[in-house]
Structure 1
Amino acid sequence: MDLRQLRYFLAVAEQRNFTKAAKLLHIAQPALSVAIKKLESSVGLPLFDRNEKQVHLTHEGEVLQVHAQRILQQVEDANMAMAELRGLQKGEVRVGVPGMLGSYFFPSILMGFKSQYPDLKLIVVEAGTQSIRQMLLDGELDIGVIHNRDVPSALETRHLITSQMVAVTSQDHPLAENKSISFRAFFDEELVMFKKGYFHREFIDRICAEHNIEPHLSFETNLLAMILNIVRHGFAITALLELVTEHEPGLVAIPFEEPVTLDIAMAWRKQGYLSLADRAFIDFVQRNK
């Protein structure tokens, strides 16, 4: 079993087709078939169920897939570490940030970091918490900003901020004068929400499950600007981090009767390689949050 065989194996597992995998790998399909047969022979187990149109992993293949992904990720981490020590590449930080924090908390931090480290490249990906968690686990991101709740054991976290989740209405909404609001009163209203996968939506779904409430979801979108405009024009209300309402005119924040406080954290893979650029970013954010 060698690294080349493992790469070929993962390509076939992902594509579920030898021809497509061969094209992706830029090798001849017969050569790929031979390599996979040699791998199966070396481990002494069938790795794929084959038919005319698709191939599927056997149970043994599924077990190997987990180890193969981990091995190749560690090899990539090692190559990055050695390249950094040789000075063959400039530093790069790949960070995932949820929409609300990306719009209101992080811009000044990102600009400050870039000002202090002008030679480092920042790649910022906007996504929901669940997507960011998965991208971290898959090695697609170096650092991610997530809700510090039910965090996978493979991730390390460091506290970033604590923020209150509040109901948000237009200034002329009947609820705008309320000093607080119950969950049931909130869910009786027409709502505009992020789609599943964002910590904003995780909060909503969790409260509904705990209180056996069926929400009135009139709008679902991942566009924060659209949510804000829908609320401003009185078509629906929503729930957002309080820091959003501090920067947006025409909106009213109403605390819930049962206060909802979210712990937001930076996360990275425990077994992953943190480059000098990654560590510089983490330290800068901690100093300037």
Structure 2
Amino acid sequence: MNYDALRTFVTVVEERNFTKAAEKLILSQPTVSLHIKQLEVELQTHLLSRSPKHVQITPTGQILYQRAKQIIQLWEKTKEEMGDYLHTLRGFLKIGASLTIGEYILPMILTSYHEQYPYVQLEVVVGNTQEVVQQVRSHQLDLGLIEGHTQEREVKVSPFMEDEMVFVVGASHPLAQQKPNVSLESLQNQVWIAREKGSGTREYMDHLIRKWGLQLKDILMISSNQGVKELVSRGIGVTCISRWVVQKEVDRGEMVMLSVFEQPIVRTLSYVLPMQTDLSRSGQVFLECLIDKSKI
């Protein structure tokens, strides 16, 4: 049974006139007549009684009219649902993120992304920068978000935002009493609390220590931001860490930011993609969302 013929039949019944039906459907009148004839031949019954002025529907035509209306409505609903499906972002996206990004920055981006694209299945793997880069390189992740640099040549690295790095101590630490300004000399011979090797935060802290020629009294390593914060808040030592990580503790008075320079110290956060693989549409849209939210 031809859908167009059913649509023509319903329009003729509702307009009660072949000519008006033809005009409404933007068809020729012979085409309208042909559609009706095809239905009558297939169903082996007269569907319409024609008169010079009007068209009357027969009892069997009434049965077809009711079913044809249902069929047309169902078909239009089906097309609408198919269109929604084809234009709705779907799929699976596996993202890797270094700890600071994964714990403090990525959640707000994922919230926005999921609200807009609820049919994309997301999985997030959190590790240090080195681990994320290696998993992107080996195609275990669709994309990665990192804090540090990488020398890996088999990935593409692009910046997406700047991250302010701050020096912090616990409220009971002697340096906390020197606020708001602390000299670079005051950072000499201190105990430092550091993330593990391979961490982007550790890499940047080591860079600053070398750059400024700081001598360390001791260094304590721990492989989580929360562990770093716990040690620092107890007054054990100094750390250099993303402002995102310690802002709440500073606001609560548990930690103190040390002002060493007039200008803020910033590093670049980047996203990493496999070199030879095209990112899926869901991944491309995620990056657009990431870059848009990073402007805030």
TM-score, structure 2 length as denominator? 0.61
| Superimposed CA distance per residue, residues 101-138 of structure 1 (whole angstroms, 9 cap, x where no aligned partner) | 22221112112212222221111111111221121111
Q: Which residue of 2 aligns with 1:65?
A: none
Q: Which residue of 2 aligns with 1:288?
A: 293
Query: Matched residues in 2 for 1:135 and 1:238: separation?
Result: 28
What is the SS of the residue equivalent to 2:256? strand
What is the SS of the residue equivalent to 1:227? helix
* Offset, 1:197: 0.6
Query: Matched residues in 2 for 1:155 and 1:256: separation?
Result: 36
C-alpha distance 159-230 of structure 1, shift in aligned 2 (>3 A): same
What is the SS of the residue equivalent to 2:192? strand
Structure 1 contact 104–244 (Cα < 8 Å) conserved: yes
Q: Which residue of 1 aligns with 2:241?
A: 240
Q: Which residue of 2 aligns with 1:28?
A: none
What is the SS of the residue equivalent to 2:248? coil
C-alpha distance 238-276 of structure 1, shift in aligned 2 (>3 A): same
Q: Which residue of 1 aligns with 2:128?
A: 128
Structure 2 contact 133–150 (Cα < 8 Å) conserved: no
Structure 2 contact 167–238 (Cα < 8 Å) conserved: yes
Identity of aligned residues (%): 22
C-alpha distance 92-134 of structure 1, shift in aligned 2 (>3 A): same
* Offset, 1:178: 2.8
Structure 1 contact 156–269 (Cα < 8 Å) conserved: yes
Written as runs of structure 1 = structure 2, the 5 A alignment for 1:72-91 is 91=91
Q: Which residue of 1 aligns with 2:30?
A: none
Higher CA-based Rg? 2
Q: Which residue of 2 aligns with 1:70?
A: none
* Offset, 1:92: 1.4
Query: Matched residues in 2 for 1:233 and 1:106: separation?
Result: 28
* Offset, 1:213: 4.3
Query: Matched residues in 1 for 2:239 and 2:117: separation?
Result: 38
Q: Which residue of 2 aligns with 1:141?
A: 141
Letter aligned with residue 206 of structure 1: H
Q: Which residue of 1 aligns with 2:190?
A: 189
* Offset, 1:149: 3.6
| Superimposed CA distance per residue, residues 34-77 of structure 1 (whole angstroms, 9 cap, x where no aligned partner) | xxxxxxxxxxxxxxxxxxxxxxxxxxxxxxxxxxxxxxxxxxxx
Query: Matched residues in 2 for 1:216 and 1:145: separation?
Result: 33
Q: Count how many residue pairs are aligned between Structure 1 and Structure 2.
A: 202
**Structure 2 stretches lacking a partner, 5+ long:** 1-85
C-alpha distance 184-143 of structure 1, shift in aligned 2 (>3 A): farther
* Offset, 1:196: 0.4
Letter aligned with residue 198 of structure 1: S
* Offset, 1:147: 3.3
**Structure 1 stretches lacking a partner, 5+ long:** 1-85
Letter aligned with residue 278 of structure 2: Y
Residue number among 261, 266, 278 corresponding to 1:261 in the alignment: 266
Structure 2 contact 132–144 (Cα < 8 Å) conserved: yes
| Superimposed CA distance per residue, residues 170-196 of structure 1 (whole angstroms, 9 cap, x where no aligned partner) | 123221233344555335211211100
Written as runs of structure 1 = structure 2, the 5 A alignment for 1:223-234 is 223-234=224-235
Structure 1 contact 144–266 (Cα < 8 Å) conserved: yes
Structure 2 contact 166–240 (Cα < 8 Å) conserved: yes
C-alpha distance 101-182 of structure 1, shift in aligned 2 (>3 A): farther
State the 4+ residue runs in structure 1 displaced beyond 6 angstroms.
none
C-alpha distance 187-122 of structure 1, shift in aligned 2 (>3 A): farther
Letter aligned with residue 252 of structure 1: V
What is the SS of the residue equivalent to 1:229? helix
TM-score, structure 1 length as denominator? 0.62
Query: Matched residues in 2 for 1:151 and 1:103: separation?
Result: 24
